[in-house]
Amino acid sequence: MTAGNTEAGVAKPARAAMLDGDRYVLAAIVLHWTIAALIVIQLFLGWWMNEWTPDHSPQQDAIQTWHVSVGVTILLLVIVRIAIRLARPPPPEPSDIPAWERPLINITHTLFYVLMLVIPLTGWALISTGRDPIHFWGLPWPHMPGMSQFAHDRAARHTLKSIHTYWLIWLVLLNLALHVAGALKHQFDGHPVLWRMLPGRTSSGR
């Protein structure tokens, strides 16, 4: 065996080991795609509830029940996702990504976690201003403490609804667009990253 072949034989396992170490843990992968799917469902339910059903109708109440359950589910899963991220830090970005992109990546990731917490919390706060019981997949869910005082404050409820329904939703859509655009850019410019968040892939698939 020539020296060149020996070097190639050593380099390949080293590269494979490096790639395996760059993968997200399975729990993070499952939660990532589960939360992503639930966010899409939640956006559709919110749009359907607010734009296509009559206000205070039985149909709107039924959709709102689903919307609340999905929202609380997202909140709980995001808390678990953050705990996993703290316990098992994500793999580093490719070392040759331009320096100017790194802060942007960190900002979009951090903003995503903030929004995935704040949006369900503002929704919970909004529904807690009402008197009706809250249900989480058929089980009773408590009202957010302190929100009952706004039951008759229409201005406060309108402001909270605008923040939850419009401002935060448009912000998450903008951040989502940046996140997807960045991932696709890296995937096709020689820094493939999508494979790290796909279950069942081996390092050779990079």
Domain residue limits, the chain: 16-205
**What is the arithmetic mean of pLDDT over 133-156?**
94
Number of neighbouring beta carbons within 10 Å of residue 120 = 22
User: pLDDT, tens digit, for every residue of 78-130?
Assistant: 999 999 999 998 888 777 778 888 888 889 889 999 999 999 999 999 999 99
Query: What does the pLDDT read at residue 164?
Result: 95
**Cα 58 to the center of its chain, rounded Å:** 30
Mean pLDDT lowest among 2-11, 82-91, 100-109, 138-147: 2-11
Grouping H, G, I as helix, E, B as strand and the rest as coil, residue 137 is coil
Whether 73 has a pLDDT exceeding 50, the answer reads yes
The whole-chain average pLDDT of the chain stands at 84
Query: What does the pLDDT read at residue 185?
Result: 79
Q: Which CATH architecture has domain 16-205?
A: Up-down Bundle (1.20)
pTM summary value: 0.82
Cβ atoms of 183 and 194 within 8 Å: the answer is yes
**What is the arithmetic mean of pLDDT over 5-14?**
39
The one-letter code for the residue type at 127 is I
Query: Which residue pairs from 157-165 have beta carbons closer than 8 angstroms and sit at least 24 positions apart in sequence?
Result: 157/126, 157/129, 160/122, 160/125, 160/126, 160/129, 161/126, 163/122, 164/119, 164/122, 164/123, 164/126, 165/46, 165/50
